[in-house]
Structure 1
């Protein structure tokens, strides 16, 4: 059994690759390195530098390495930037997924775990998001992920592809040497500010939450990666999975709680600056992970202190 991991040189993808390795499952990585890092791919893991828009390269990689299943993480993942770059976002996330499916059909590969997103929900109108919550994406990124789910489901019906989509919320933490380098995510922004001697910033402290800062679901990337392995194993064993799973905590953390954890873990005494709200930021987005716990062993095995400590230890200057 060998699994192809698209985007396996990226932050989340590299952790998924490590999790497969720890489970004794062979992987091959395809990544165009537009945001990934070649040195995030472990020695001994086959690496193909190619775009998911290149059907021929994908087909060759699948055939050359005897691939039996795919974890599809490659894509353009910046929701805010996608508003300015909708055509690029759709090309990478929708057209790219279509090319991958074409390569899978051509080679007879039928198992697929898809990296989806909480952005498919937009601003939920409920306190606790379940898989039955209506989807209202509010960015080209969220729209492209939802269309990707539809496209995969259509290919499943037409070509027998067995699949599940994992909707991520806020993925944080790191294994050593695999830092999150996104210029848009909260954890790397806080780490960068602290390492540069600047004060981290909170965007708004007047939300309808216990401490006034907005509440989000934060999940450790190692827990997330383990869920991918469990989903892949289930599909490979012929088990039927739900079409979609939320990988959420069920209770969430506020931005202030995250800041407090950074101060505690790093020993740096700071009071965050308070800036204005960002337009459209909801008070609270928290997801129920019950279905994923039932079917693929999803669990929050890391505390907020674990999340912060691992992100701080993996910072580039450490």
Structure 2
């Protein structure tokens, strides 16, 4: 049974569509990432689910009961839905332990388990104005979790963190959400975070959902070039260009084909279906991106072969299974 149901929700902000006839469902314990360019409607969607934005049309339900918007109740928000963004506030001049004590609804020592998972024991005696930005964010998240929400909405809360602290926070959220069966929705611009963390990805553009699928499907089989670009590097080749590279495909000649750089494999000559010359080589930390000229068609290729150098001729294999027709 769906825990959250969104039925035909629309919202205009300053005469511009922020959400256009959105209908979605989320099950308990699911981790969902919401991606899209700035202004695509991601944050408005989260805030509408949280009861912080009043939809112009449509309804949001949590466990079969309508989530009331700010025009329908005195204090906006829902007790079982926690919302955390980059922009948050903590009470000033209070000790952390005081802030958390006032927010705590947990019983039987559950809060101690939460504090251990979140590694905040050393911060309890400090006052909130003495905390770093990352420490404040950690305390803000713990304060929300002390209400033991059924739903946790994360609106780019870790975008200003360095990789080490961001990974710690995401691991912490994942551990707590799994232990308490919390349904999590996170807005993020990081392909690495999205693909690693989520079980489902929703891509938005211009107030509408472009694609709703598993991380692997949305990465390998995006509906269009826009969605492909949200999750990493890609090549777009026409069918005539593919034919020029030496790869024979049966697609209509007017199709655009999306191919991820890692789908090109550097191989021995007898396994190759194209030959190219390396024009550029860029180190990425976990491998190399090559720009390769294949009979006048430039393609991006990812490889871990360190020995390859600019000017080398290389043999490449590309499978039709790694090609996706996009709009």
Normalised TM-score (structure 1): 0.29
Structure (1 or 2) with the greater strand fraction: 2
Structure (1 or 2) with the greater helix fraction: 1
Normalised TM-score (structure 2): 0.29
